[in-house]
Amino acid sequence: MTQAESMSTMSKEMQDCVAACMECHSVCEETMSSCMQMGGQAQMQIMRALIDCAEMTRMCADMMMRRSPLSAEMCAMCAKACEMCAEACMSMPDDAQMMRCAEACRRCVQTCRAMSGMSM
């Protein structure tokens, strides 16, 4: 089954959550690259939060697409990782990439929280 076929059989809420997770994953990866270019300015706390969030969002999307019975719990954990990442990114409010990442994380938190309360 292709990803497109898998997506077509999902609820709208699950599709939205997978899309938010994948967007957040991409933005976190871009932000990590941006942080590495900054060098010493990027704090290790921010990098850890970005790495955790990028990994969690990718895994969460994968689990929803394959209808894992652990998806709801994973969505709850993903929301927590995204929340921590958004907070870490907000520590650099003058950085446009950090603010873009924080916004993607917040969107993902909302969809993951909604999915964590649903049976999948």
Instruction: Return the pLDDT at 36.
Output: 83
Report CA torsion sign: 106, 52, 95, 88. Answer: positive
Sequential DSSP letters for 70-115: THHHHHHHHHHHHHHHHHHHTT-TT-HHHHHHHHHHHHHHHHHHHH
Residue whose token pair is 């969505």? 75
Instruction: Return the pLDDT at 35.
Output: 87
Please report, in tens digits, the pLDDT of each residue of the chain (120 residues total): 444 444 557 789 999 999 999 999 999 999 999 988 877 656 888 999 999 999 999 999 999 999 999 999 999 999 999 999 999 999 999 999 999 999 999 999 999 999 998 544
Full-model pTM = 0.85
